[in-house]
């Protein structure tokens, strides 16, 4: 939500260096967005 408020769009979230959605057990979350 903060990324969208800052003007970003097409926000995608990935977990742990994989092409999967993050879970509660994911060690890292990666956000990919366009400005």
Pairing of β 29-34 and β 9-15: antiparallel
Per-residue pLDDT reduced to its tens digit, 10-29 = 999 999 999 999 999 999 99
What is the value of pTM for the model shown?
A: 0.72
Place 1 in a pLDDT band, splitting at 50, 70 and 90.
Answer: confident
* Cα gap 4→27, rounded to integer Å: 24
Distance between CA 16 and CA 35 in Å, rounded?
24
Backbone angles phi, psi at 2, to 5 degrees: -65, -35
């Amino acid at each position: 939500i903060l990324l969208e408020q800052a003007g970003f769009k097409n926000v995608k979230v990935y977990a742990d260096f994989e092409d999967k959605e993050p879970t509660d057990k994911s060690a890292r979350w990666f956000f990919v967005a366009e400005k």
